[in-house]
Structure 1
Amino acid sequence: MSREATSMSGFWRTQLTTFAVLFAGYASYTYNRKSVSFALPNLMKNGLLDKSAAGTISSSQNTAYAISKFLGGVLSDKISAKWLFFSGLVLSGGATVLFSTSSSLTMFAALWFLNGFAQGAGWPACAKLLKKWFSPEQFGTFWSALSASSNVSGSLCPFLATSIIAQFDWRASLLVSGGVTLTSAICVALMLRDSPIEAGFNKDFSQEATKKKTDGKSTAHRLTWKNLIQSPFLWLVSAVYLVVFAAKTSVTEWGQLYLIEDLGHSAFTGSGFISAVETGGFFGGIAAGYVTDWLKKKWGKKTPGNPRMFAAIWFMAGVAGFLFVLTTFVTTYTSQFFLTVIGFGLGACLYACIAIYGIVASESYPSHLSGTAHAVVALAANVGAILSGLPCSYVAQLYNWRAIFIVLEVLAAAAALFLIVFRKVTPGLPEDKPKSQ
């Protein structure tokens, strides 16, 4: 075997190792982030929290997450993505362990705010590392595959958490979650490298992409964040990302409570529904990356706008459709099978949209601004997550949990129409404008 072939073989193995560490690390982030959500029915049943207090805890985390995910995106353009990823795991794991020893609402909210702040380091670091380690032709597929780590975690962890709570208590469940996250941090420190160059390979796909964009007379390398915030495409993506993230967070945070409190289903039925959402999200996210990579190769230069957004229209309409079924046809007597089908379809559409919006935000702008671009749309997404916390729990307190999903159903349908109307919008940065001769 030639030296070049040996080098390529070693690079491919290192790529896979990098992906595996990121996959396990981000799955740990998700397990940690949702650990209190899994415990909420038990906490409310025991009288430790009411609906308003549960919303306060959720919003405290989501508020911090919104702030830190924006900061994390900006920081990922400035500092080591590996150590950003590591730091978030350590802080979020530590906050969860401390939460398991607390009892007051003030401490619960403060610690979950800290957890949310630490969580914001996770995906921006992943996005930056993916761009360095994988070529533009692989980017959409590996982005979606890595996003699926959240769904794998979300599918398995409701059952794990419910079993631990049933066998021991909610404190033990959070202690396990914190321990898993801290263990993942150790693996990241030992096994992850910031770039192929740091690992000894003469490759850096993010630099190659930048070189392609800056060939000839392109001005991409001179663009600043001021040019970025003037891009209409960025605000289009931000608007629809806010809606879909509000829907996703509400479904995963309040879906089981809707089934348990409004409709009288068991805790395991509620956990099964959430698991189905995450399982559907796994397949939907991967399908979105693969299909939109194909659309971009086939139609990327033939149609105005980003061709990935055409797929987003259909997935967004699917979100509205499955929410309609959930609020209209699900009753106390609905079978577990039917609930699983609804959860699977809803999760597939939700996570497909999330994957597409994240990909287009990162790939549509030069490498030195890709983290910031993703940070802007992620900030909008997390505003949606904040709205799904205390405001939604207040709506549930005034009416019921079903009312939340009716509102989200209408918003999702409106977002799909919004995408149809503005489907031809482009990033609109200076390098896209024709130059005078």
Structure 2
Amino acid sequence: MAIFREDPDLPVTKSQEEIDQTYRFYRLQLMIVSYIGYAVFYFTRKGFNFVMPAMLTDLGLEKADIGMMGTVFYLTYGASKFLSGVIGDRSNPRYFMGIGLMITGVVNILFGLSSSVFMFITLWMINAFFQGWGWPPCAKILNTWYSRNERGLWWAIWNTSHNLGGAIIPLIAGTVTLYWGWRYGMIIPGIIAIVVGLGLCVFLRDRPRSMGLPTVGEWRGDEAEKEHESEGIGLSTWEILKSYVFKNKIIWALALSYCLVYIVRTGINDWGNLYLIETRGYDILQANASVSFFEVGGFIGALFAGWGSDKFFKGNRTQMNIIYVVGIIAVASSMWLLPTHNGYIMSALFFFMGFFIFGPQFLIAMAAAENSHKNAAGASTGFVSLFAYIGASIAGLPLSLIIEHFKWNGFFGTLFVISVVCASLLVLVYILQRSRNKHLAS
């Protein structure tokens, strides 16, 4: 469709002062607008999790029904994220992201008006497909408007949009559900998404070159960025995918580790409130409030991970990933083994779990973009995200069956084992990177 096509490159005719002013203005605008937009994508993606206990009671659904919806959603979302990444690398972010968000809003409204399991699953599959339109435009913006020697911090700041959306939606959905019922807990976020989607279509922009600006590497004098920008010029989309994604061992290792990170992340996020209600005696508002600390911790953890990977490891994300996954192992063990009903302790554990999960949650995607072709940011991050949401789908029906048959001990035991395997995979990523760097140096 013509509306989604990239804007053409324009010649650079501005003075250096005009270039500096334009870059500074739009870098800030694009950060703010894409940040708000992606946070609202979370409203239409995660609101369901926080009305789910009320749906179970109101409609008499089984946990397996909810688990099936989760599995179908994440498989569809993962496939969409990869497909949308390939298309999004060659598309205009403003319409691709804006229209996608508006459609998810409409689907959430229809979900709130439905009652059958068949309609729930069908609508949630449609929602999952258009949820995949949110990330690729953001990856493209981050990869073309911010250079390598600063991207860790900027990407970390943007990544906290997950946490803002994830922290606000349990409070919105929980409060609305408590007073007006679960249906309005879906409808109101849908209305918000339609309004914000219109704003994205107005305020987002395409690449710097499409606005008559030099590339960000040229503007900042970042040699590593300029080298990345000049690599593989003139290759077709398929050649880029084949050489820089499908045959890239580092991308495959990152993808497998991302799969495991997302099993843990989604398991805690999707089942955490039900765990507190069933085992700790919390009501829905108390449980959602405790789970919201997961996002607060993630907000801080992601910022520190991005800054730390720039500051301490010179832009190499893998060492920081390994440190964070060791933290996940420690916190998962504590949530599993500590015999406490204290609300403050449980909230603190959710906080630290979020802190350690959201580091690798964004650093792995960022590493995929930086270890691939410059024009494959959406495709490479979409590819590893496909594996991420295969992992997230495992947190749906398979984890629901583990909970039913082995209770919550089985749930946390599974997350512990997965975290250990993930740490081992990230060590492999580090070894592959060192081997590649030695080969390039020689």
* TM-score, reference length from structure 2: 0.89
- Aligned residue runs from structure 1 range 24-423, under 5 A: 24-198=36-210, 200-205=211-216, 211-213=226-228, 222=235, 224-227=240-243, 228-297=245-314, 307-331=316-340, 334-423=341-430
Count of aligned pairs between the two proteins: 421
CA contact (8 A) 1:82 1:194 kept: yes
Identity of aligned residues (%): 26
User: Helix, strand or coil for the counterpart of 1:371?
Assistant: helix
CA contact (8 A) 1:262 1:402 kept: no
User: Helix, strand or coil for the counterpart of 1:224?
Assistant: helix
Q: Distance in 2 between matches of 1:221 and 1:284?
A: 38
Q: Distance in 2 between matches of 1:82 and 1:138?
A: 24
- Higher mean alpha-carbon deviation, 278-287 vs 59-68, is at 59-68
The residue that corresponds to 2:29 in the other structure is 17
CA apart distance, 1:212? 2.2
The residue that corresponds to 2:4 in the other structure is none
CA contact (8 A) 2:71 2:393 kept: yes
CA apart distance, 1:336? 1.5
- Structure 1 residues without counterparts, runs of 5 or longer: 301-306
Amino acid at match of 2:270: E
Q: Distance in 1 between matches of 2:425 and 2:203?
A: 44
CA apart distance, 1:220? 6.8
CA contact (8 A) 2:177 2:184 kept: yes
Q: Distance in 1 between matches of 2:128 and 2:292?
A: 22
CA apart distance, 1:221? 5.7
Question: What per-residue deviation string (whole Å, max 9, x for no partner) do you get for residues 335-376 of structure 1?
Answer: 111111101100010001111101100011221223221121
> RMSD across aligned C-alpha pairs, in angstroms?
2.4
Amino acid at match of 1:284: G
Residues 338 and 214 (structure 1 numbering): CA distance in 2 closer, same or farther, change over 3 Å? closer
Amino acid at match of 1:251: I
CA contact (8 A) 2:68 2:396 kept: yes
Amino acid at match of 1:225: L
Q: Distance in 1 between matches of 2:267 and 2:70?
A: 10
CA contact (8 A) 2:89 2:137 kept: no
Amino acid at match of 1:267: I
Residues 147 and 138 (structure 1 numbering): CA distance in 2 closer, same or farther, change over 3 Å? same
Residues 95 and 294 (structure 1 numbering): CA distance in 2 closer, same or farther, change over 3 Å? same
Amino acid at match of 2:50: F
CA apart distance, 1:213? 3.6
CA apart distance, 1:195? 2.2
Q: Distance in 1 between matches of 2:67 and 2:429?
A: 34
User: Helix, strand or coil for the counterpart of 2:297?
Assistant: helix
Q: Distance in 1 between matches of 2:48 and 2:329?
A: 27
CA apart distance, 1:432? 5.9
Question: What per-residue deviation string (whole Å, max 9, x for no partner) do you get for residues 370-427 of structure 1?
Answer: 3221121111101000111111111112222342221011110222133235522129
- Structure 2 residues without counterparts, runs of 5 or longer: 1-13
User: Helix, strand or coil for the counterpart of 1:98?
Assistant: helix
- Higher mean alpha-carbon deviation, 313-322 vs 73-82, is at 73-82
CA apart distance, 1:46? 2.2
Residues 160 and 219 (structure 1 numbering): CA distance in 2 closer, same or farther, change over 3 Å? closer
CA contact (8 A) 1:232 1:427 kept: no
Question: What per-residue deviation string (whole Å, max 9, x for no partner) do you get for residues 302-357 of structure 1?
Answer: xxxxx3211111100111111111111144xx211111110110001000111110
